[in-house]
Structures are given as C-alpha cells and as structure tokens.
Amino acid sequence: MAERRRIRGEHRVAGRFSVARRLFGRPVRNRLLILLAVIGPGIITSNVDNDPGGITTYSIAGSRFGYDLLWLLGPILVSLIVVQEMCVRMAVVTGKGLADLMRENFGIRATFYLLAALLVTNVFNTMSEFSGVAAGAELLGLPRYLVLPLAALAVGVLILRGSYRFVERVFLVASAFYVAYIVSAVLAHPEWHEVAKAAVVPHFETSPTFLILVIGLVGTTIAPWMQFYIQASTVEKRVKKEELTYARVDLTVGSFMAVAVAGFIIITCAATLNKAGIAVSSASQAAQALQPLAGLHAEQLFAFGLLAAGLFSGGILPLSTAYHVCEGMGWPAGVGNTYGEARQFYVLYALIVALGALPILIPDMPLLKIMYFSQVANGVLLPFVLLMMLRLAGNKDLMGEHVNGVVLNTIAYATVVILILATAASFVLPVLQGLRG
Amino acid sequence: MHLSPIPQMFYLSDILGKPVLDERNQQVGLLRDVAVFIGPRFPAISKIRVRQGRRTRLVRWSRVMGMEGRSLIVREPTDESAESPDLHERELLLYRNVLDKQMVDLTGRKVVRVNDVILGSVGGTVRVTGVAIGTASVLRRLGMLGILRRLPGVKLIDTVVPWQSVVPLHYTDPEVQLNVTAERLSRLHTADLAAILSDMSAGDRSRILDSLDDEMVADIIEEFQPEEQAEMLEAIEDDRVPDVVGKMEPDDAADMLQVLSAEESADILGHLEADDAAGLLELMVHEPDSAGGIMTREFVALTGDMSVGEALGELRGRLSDLPTESSYDIFLVDPDMHLRGAVTLRDLLVAVPDDRVVDIMNDHPVHAEVGDDRAEAARLVARYDLLALPVLQEGRLVGIITVDDALDVLLPTEWREYFPRDEH
C-alpha cells in the first residue's frame, strides 16, 4: 500500500512496458539484473530442448565416439542462434506464429504436409519424452505402468488448469540437474587438452552410424518443434521491435546453455563410458556416466534428471504441437477455449498424449532406441522447416527492414544443405556399401 | 473455338495457377491472383494478375471472354500499349489478401481462416459471394474430398460465410483497411469484439485496435479480467494508453492499474488529467479483494430536503453522464456525505411530485463497508436483488458496487461468457 501511495505524481519512470515485466511477470528495478537473469522464451525453449531424447543422443555420442563429435557443437551453436533469431524476429515483426505465416504465405497444401510431418515427428518426440519418464521411473524401482499414466495425468491437469507458469518454474528449477553433468565431467578428469583439440578440429567418418548420429545431434539440438515454440512464445510475450536486442540476448544465452549442456554430457560420457568400453544401449548404462559425481547414487540422480526432463517436455510438446497444427489449419486453438469451441485442438492433444504414452507401456520396449530415433526424425524434418523459414524471413513484403541479411542467409542455407546431404548420405551410403560388400 | 460460359458458381482455388489462354488457345501465362473492387455490394472481379515467365501484369476483367475448362480466355489487345492498369486503392487481391488469411466472421462472432473463396457469376459480372471455412474446403484443396466423400457414412458439407458477414484483416491499402475494418467492426457489441480480438494473432489485434477510437478500445478492455486487461494494454500504442485508460470506467481502470507494476501504473497515471488520476488513486488505495476494490465512484447522491419533483428535475441533468447501472439507485446524503437513505428512480416516478423525498426513501438501505470482503458485498447485491449497493467509509458514502461488478465476483469465469456485460 505504501508503495502505491509513493507513486503519486513525481515518481515517474519511462519505458512503461519494460522487458523485465514481460520476462518475469513482475518488475525488476536493476537493469543489470535483467541481463544477468533473463528468463525469456529463448532460455525456456532451450531447457525444454534438453529433453530425454537429447540426453540420450548426447550420451550415445560420447560413449560411442568419445570426444570425436565435440567439434560439431560449434557449428550447431551458430546455426541454432541463427535459426532461433529468425523465429524471434519474425514473431516480433509480424506478431504471428510460424504455422500461421506458413499457411498465409505458402497456402494450404505445403502447410498441411509440413504440419502432418511435424505431427508424426512430434508423436515420436512425445514418445521419447515419456520413454524418459518410464526409464527414469524404472531406475528408481517404480513400475512404469503406474508412473506413466500418473505423470501424463498430472502434467495434463496442471497445464490445462492454467497453472502453466507454475509448472514452467518448477521444471526450470529441476533442470538445474544438468549442473550434475558439469561437475561429473570435471570429476571424471577428462584429458582437457584432447577435449580442446576435439572441440576445434573436425573429425569425420562416412559410416552410417556416424552420419545418423550427426543428424540426431543436429535434430535434437535444433529440433523443428522448437522453432514453432520459440516463435509462439515470443508472440505471446508481445516483444516490441525496439526490444529485439533483449530478445536476441535471451536466445543467445539460451542457445549457449543448451549447447554447453550437450557438450558436458558428451565429455562426461566420453571420459567415463567410452573409456570403459561401454556403448550405451540402456538407461542404466547411461547413468554410469554420473558415477564420478554421485558414486553409487548415479542411477538415482540420472533417473531424477530423466524424469524431470521427460515430464517438462512431455507436458509442453503435445500441447504446443496441437496448437501449431490448429493454427495452420485455421481451427480454434488454446486452452482458453472450451471443448465445444476447440474440438480439434483437444482431440489432437489427447491423441498425441495417447499415441506418445501407450507404446511405452508395451513390455520390453527399447526405450533408449525410441528416444534416439525420434531425434533423427527431427533431423530429417528440419531442412524442410528451415527452407520455409528462410523464404519467410527473406520476404521483404513481410519483414520490411528486418528482412534477412546476406551473412545470415549464408549460414542458414549452409545448415540446410549440410543436413540434406547428411540425411541423403545416411540413407544412400549403407546401400552403396551393401552393393560393394 | 468453343467458348463455354463462366460457371454460375466456382471456387477461387479452381482457377488459381491455371493457364490463361488467348483466343487462339495459346497460353499467355498463369493466373496468379484476382482483384475485386470493394463496394457496398458483393465485390466484383475487376482485374486478374497473369504471370508470364518472370513478369507479372494486370489484365482488366472486361477482356476475359469466358472459360475453357478451368482456364480463363482473354482477348489480347491489338495495340500493345493499349493498357497496363494499376491496382486501385479499393481493390482487394483475393489470393494475396484473402485466401488462407484470417478474417472476422461477424455472424459467428469469431475469427476464421479462409480455406477458399466462392465466386458467383451473374450476367457477365463475377462476384465474390462468400468464403468457405469448413474442413470440407480444406480437403477439397488437398484433393482428398472426392475420395473421402465416397466412403460410406461420411458426410462432408462445407461451412460457408456470406461475404457480407466477413471483414478482411488484410487490404492492399492500409488507409482503406483502417476505414473499412474500423467501420464494420465497430458495429459489433464490445463483448463480441473482445472475444474476437482475443482469438486474433497479436499483430492483427494491434492493427485492429489502432483503427478503433479511444472510447471503443476502452469499452473493449473493460470486457476482460484485470490480468487480461493489462495484456490488452500492451497491444495498444504506448502514446495512446493514457487516453484509453482515461476513457475507462474508473473502477475497472483502478483494478487494472493494480495488476500492473508500480512503475507502469505510475507512468500511466502521470499522463492522465489530474482529476482522473486523483480519482483512480483513491480507488487504488483499497485492496482489490475488498468491497472498496470493486466499487465505482460514479453514483448520484442528493443533498438537502427536496420534493420529488425537484429531485427528478435535478436528476434529469445529472444522469446523462452516468453509466446505466449507476442511474437507478439514488442516494440521499447530508453535506458531509453521511448516508441518510436511498430511493429508486421508480419510487420517484410513481410518487406525487409534491411528496418530500425523505418521506418515501428507505431509511436503512443495505450497505457494505469499504474494508468488507468483496465476495460478501457481492452476495448482498444478489441476496437483496440490488442494482447498486452503497459502500460506506466511517459512515460516509464513498462509492457503490453495481450488479455487473458483483456478478463478476460471484460467477465462475466460464459462466461470465454466457452473460456478457452490457455496454455502458
């Protein structure tokens, strides 16, 4: 009350709709604090991105190839920043989501097939999130048949009942779990000079395993659904053109975090599992990477991480997928609508959750494989999403003075070309080798 | 050559991208877009855009002679430089501005996405008759409708909205957009308009709000809950915010400002007129969940001993500025604003003009204290079927809680949508 009286008249502050309010939902006075503690769409997106599929892919990369794939993280980071910046810029300039823009600019046919592909890919991604929950539960000795339905129900109710923000905060805190990998990496005493060398000197193999892992790594770090997600949340936060710089800082910080986590997981797994000659094929094997930190409790720690990451991403992914499909098809979407108003939205949501959770309940499902291959599916879909994004962000009518520049276009097109080549190679090479052998 | 007439009814998607032929059946290009002239009636096709190689040009509809299959046949001018028309500011491009875009459906009172445009031909003129928004039109454009319709038990009937009921959100000319959109949307009830705006993409929402006047925007914002009101404010140009807040009902404005941060509300208050700002600050002193937090200061109080006739005479002048729900209950106070009684407009109208107001008034009107719980106060309104409940502070009348604000407190959020609040 006292504070409200104090504002009478003389105490006036410029910048009414400060980015701080948008980012925190409450005012933060210290401008420095904003930069230190930005929690915007960028940071949230990259934390959703570090999902069980991501942890698995990084673990496999580290355990199979040691430090060999580390160098890839540099280009991935640059591409991730470039791609997300395009989404944020499109969100700020047009005030529209990605599916919306695709529909308006490429018509219904292209949009339909792309969204159909996204839907299928995201059902696999959802499966991968729930696999994470199941694998985590089993490591903790809990039956997945009990945990999974409960988890699906709990997240669904929490999100549909409008406490999304609360859920978001809880899981963001839980994502501090990734610090465990940083500590574990240090305790595992990796050969830092080798790490440094591997991080800059490219290493390349033409084996299909290697190429598929490359696609998986790119696909999990620059997942197609992330681009839809970050654009939608930027639109929702109503970031203004003048605040584009803040948004860019936010997404850059987020991208660095995502890639740093990826790097430390690979280093940890390389220094522990790869050295011990374990090529990860189960969750309990992947958990051994945390032994330097947690010793006998490595499994519990890893289980907790998988569970939290799976719940968070598994809660958001079906919802955002249903939302984007509806947005593109012109159906009412969003939890603000009743079932009668947005039937397609709720049916899609339920369908994605069901299709994502039910197969996991089948006994002896290879959970880790599901998580891994869903990320490869991401990598295959990504070039198509990127091509559409490039056309949109390069459209002068749409973007005005904020249209894509030359440098940016070059990096983005390079990402597309490399991904397409890698995808094609991973399918063609095994055939060629089969012919030769 | 056989020229078939233009069909009575066809879809825009039928002809888009198809070859455009000349009289000798030679292809002159592909159909890229169709321009229609917006007028008071169903808009008529005025030009077509034809793409030849890398060049796109406009061709007047008057040169279209007919259709061959789904191709338009145009008469090529004998003189090359005869015409090269430009787009008129009141012309709308159906592919670029309408197809696949969002529109407001005035009848259904919602935002819809245009899956196809329906064209009808009457006596040589082809007009836009409506837009298709249903799933059937999506399937037809995907080329799946025919197959699916053959399946047993599948009924696919398209949902069509007549052109007169839709408002495009995208125009070729932003000036025209401003006028047409604002003019047509402002005929909607603010509760409907509010619902429509919340369905729109943020960009479209800002553009629509920009095109409406302050009063209208204020009315629309009042339809939302305080938290959402604060969000709606962000869709408005920063310079306009104080003007809009100044036009809002003080109790709504005060509630909204309390949701904003201290800096934000201070900045808005600083830009308001001194009187308005002072009034809002007084309302903001009360906790939002108290009776004081939901009351309004807009009420009529009469002082002094007067006759019914004199009272009615005075009210005639004073009620014109007040919202409806504040006009029915009239309060009698002493010069220090202590509440002495209440009388309704009906009581005054049925009484004899020479009666003293004090004789017909209710001496002990139901009332609440500013610090009371707002739900308790709202329940009083419901229990005694009041239109307005006086709110007292140390015996002085400081405000009233009107029935609409009481309903907002009592009804669960979902119900509120079925009982849209009246326009003030």
Side-chain-side CA neighbours of A235 within 13 Å: the count stands at 26
Dist. CA A140–CA A98, nearest whole Å? 39
Closest-CA residue of B relative to A20 is B261
Minimal-distance CA residue of chain B relative to A27: B261
Q: Predicted confidence band at B174 (pLDDT cuts at 50, 70, 90)? A: low
Q: If pLDDT is split at 50, 70 and 90, which confidence band does B35 have?
A: very high
B370 & B399 share domain: yes
Q: Determine, for residues A330 and B102 on separate chains, whether the beta-carbon distance falls below 8 Å.
A: yes
User: Over 50: is that where the pLDDT of A45 sits?
Assistant: yes
Q: Which residue has the tokens 């038990």?
A: B153
- Per the structure, the count of domains in chain B is 3
- Higher model confidence: residue B266 or residue B161? B161
Is B356 within the bounds of a domain? yes
Arithmetic mean of pLDDT, B244-262: 82
Q: List pLDDT tens digits, range B290-323.
A: 888 888 888 888 887 889 988 898 888 888 778 8
Q: Calculate mean pLDDT across residues B264-286.
A: 80
Query: Are B198 and A235 within 8 A, CB to CB?
Result: no
Residues of B in contact with A26 (CB under 8 A): 261
Partner-chain contact B100 A108, CB within 8 Å: yes
Task: Please classify residue A226 by burial: count the beta carbons closer than 10 Å to its beta carbon, then call 0-12 exposed, 13-18 middle and 19+ buried.
Answer: buried
Q: B241 and chain A: CB distance < 8 Å anywhere? A: yes
CB atoms within 10 A of CB A354: 14
Instruction: Give domain status of residue B108, yes or no.
Output: no
Give the whole-angstrom CA distance, residue B217 versus residue A256. Answer: 42
A96-114 pLDDT tens trace: 899 999 999 998 999 999 9
Report CB contact under 8 Å: A12, B266: yes
Is residue A48 within 8 Å of residue A316, measured between CB atoms? yes
Q: Which of B285, B303, B321 is the last residue of a domain?
A: B285
SS3 B161: strand
**Domain at B194, CATH number:** 1.25.60.10
Across the A:B interface, residue pairs with CB atoms under 8 Å apart total 94
Check whether residue B317 and residue B384 sit in a common domain.
Answer: yes
pLDDT for the residue B409: 82
Q: Using one digit for the tens of pLDDT, what is the confidence trace for A196-243?
A: 999 999 988 888 888 888 888 888 888 899 899 889 888 877 777 878
Chain B CB contacts of A21 below 8 Å: 261, 264
Query: Which residue, among A325, A319, A326, A320, has the nearest Cα to A342 in the 3D structure?
Result: A326
CA distance A111 to chain B (A): 10
Q: With pLDDT > 90 as the criterion, what percentage of chain B qualifies? A: 13
Residue A5 has pLDDT above 70, yes or no: no
Residues B202, B279 share a domain: yes
Picking from B34, B69, B93, the residue at the C-terminal end of a domain is B93
The rounded mean pLDDT for chain B is 83
Confidence of residue B178 (pLDDT cuts 50, 70, 90): low
In this structure, are B247 and B355 located in the same domain? no
- CA atoms of B281 and B188, how far apart (whole Å): 32
Check the CA dihedral B353-B355-B357-B363 and report its sign: negative
Whether B22 maps to a domain, the answer reads yes
**Choice between A170 and B271, residue whose per-residue pLDDT is larger:** B271
Asked if B414 is an interface residue toward chain A (Cβ–Cβ < 8 A), one would say yes
Task: Please check the confidence at residue B384 and state whether its pLDDT lies above 50.
Answer: yes
Q: Indicate whether A23 pLDDT > 50.
A: no
**A82-93 pLDDT, tens per residue?**
999 999 999 989
Task: Out of A195-204, A284-293, B404-413, give the one with best mean pLDDT.
Answer: A195-204
Considering the domain architecture, whether residues B13 and B57 belong to the same structural domain is answered as: yes
Q: Which residues in chain A are closer than 8 Å to B112, comparing Cβ atoms?
A: 330
Q: Check whether residue B310 and residue B392 sit in a common domain.
A: yes
Are B340 and B400 in the same domain? yes
Identify the CA nearest to B388 among candidates B267, B251, B289, B265: B251
Q: Is residue B123 part of a domain?
A: no
pLDDT bin (cut points 50, 70, 90) of residue A1 is: very low
Handedness of CA B183, B189, B190, B193 (dihedral sign): negative
Q: Which of B276, B330, B103, B260 is nearest to B196 (CA)?
A: B103
Q: Which of B113, B204, B233 sits opposite A330 (nearest CB)?
A: B113
Distance CA(B358)–CA(A292), nearest Å, equals: 88
pLDDT digits (tens, 9 = 90+) for A311-321: 888 888 888 89
pLDDT digits (tens, 9 = 90+) for A149-206: 888 887 777 666 655 566 666 666 777 778 888 888 888 888 899 999 999 999 888 8
Same-domain status, B221 and B299: no
DSSP H or E run through B49: strand B44-52
- B152 has pLDDT over 80: no
Structure tokens at A136: 């985590």
Q: Mean pLDDT over residues B363-367, rounded?
A: 89
Q: Which residue range forms the structural domain that includes residue B38?
A: 9-93
Interface of B with A in 281-300 (CB under 8 A): 281, 284-285
Give the residue-averaged pLDDT of A279-301: 81
Per-residue pLDDT at A39: 59
Question: Which of A4, A108, A341 to mutate against chain B (most B CBs within 10 Å)?
Answer: A108
Distance from the Cα of A347 to chain B's closest Cα (Å) equals 15
Pair (B398, B355) in one structural domain? yes
Give the pLDDT confidence score for residue B421 in this predicted structure. Answer: 44
- How large is the average pLDDT for residues A413-418? 84
Q: Is residue B258 part of a domain?
A: yes
In CATH, what number does A40-398+407-436 get? 1.20.1740.10
Pick the range with the lowest mean pLDDT from A393-407, B267-281, B363-377. Answer: B267-281
**Predicted local confidence at residue A270, as pLDDT:** 92
Out of B93, B114, B137, a domain closes at: B93
Task: Say yes or no to pLDDT of B422 above 70.
Answer: no
CATH number at residue B15: 2.30.30.240
Q: What is the pLDDT of residue A187?
A: 87
Using alpha carbons, list the distances in angstroms from residue A257 to A51, A77, A219, B73, B216: 13, 10, 17, 60, 45
pLDDT at residue A382 greater than cutoff 50: yes
Provide the b/e sequence for B32-63 (b: ≥16 CB within 10 Å).
Answer: bbbbbebeeebbbbbbbbbbeeeeeebbebeb
CATH of the domain at B401: 3.10.580.10
pLDDT at residue A227 in the model: 92
How would you label A397-422 residue by residue, b for 16+ Cβ within 10 Å and e otherwise? ebbeebbbeeebbebbeebbeebbeb
In a domain, B214, yes or no: yes
> pLDDT, tens digit, for every residue of B42-53?
899 999 999 988
Q: Return the ∠ at Cα A125 (arms to A119 and A128), rounded to 5°.
A: 150
* B201–A95 C-beta distance less than 8 A: yes
In a domain, B70, yes or no: yes
Nearest to A95 among B141, B202, B261 (CB): B202
CA distance A240 to chain B (A): 9
Terminal-to-terminal C-alpha distance of chain A = 81
**Looking at residue A195, what is its pLDDT?**
92
Chain B nearest-CA distance from A340, in A, is: 13
Band of pLDDT at residue A13, cut at 50, 70 and 90: very low
Mean pLDDT, residues B172-188: 71
* Residue B53, SS3 per DSSP: coil
CA distance B246 to chain A (A): 16
The percentage of residues in chain B with a pLDDT greater than 70, rounded to a whole number, is 92
Query: Is B144 within 8 Å of chain A by CB?
Result: no
Q: Which amino acid is at A150?
A: L
Mutation site for B-interface testing, chosen from A6, A13, A16 by largest number of B Cβ within 10 Å: A16
The pLDDT value recorded for residue A160 is 67
B313 part of a folded domain: yes
Q: Are residues B227 and B301 in the same domain?
A: no
Q: SS3 of B299, please?
A: coil
Provide the chain B residues 170-209 that lie in CB contact (below 8 A) with chain A: 198-199, 201-206
A-chain CB neighbours of B269 within 8 Å are 7-8
Interface of A with B (CB under 8 A): 1, 3-9, 11-14, 16-18, 21, 26-27, 94-97, 100, 103-104, 107-109, 112, 235-236, 238, 329-330, 332, 336, 338
Domain boundaries, chain A: 40-398+407-436
Residue A16, pLDDT score: 28
Q: Tell me which chain A residue has its CA closest to the CA of residue B228.
A: A336
* Shortest CA gap B138–chain A (Å): 7
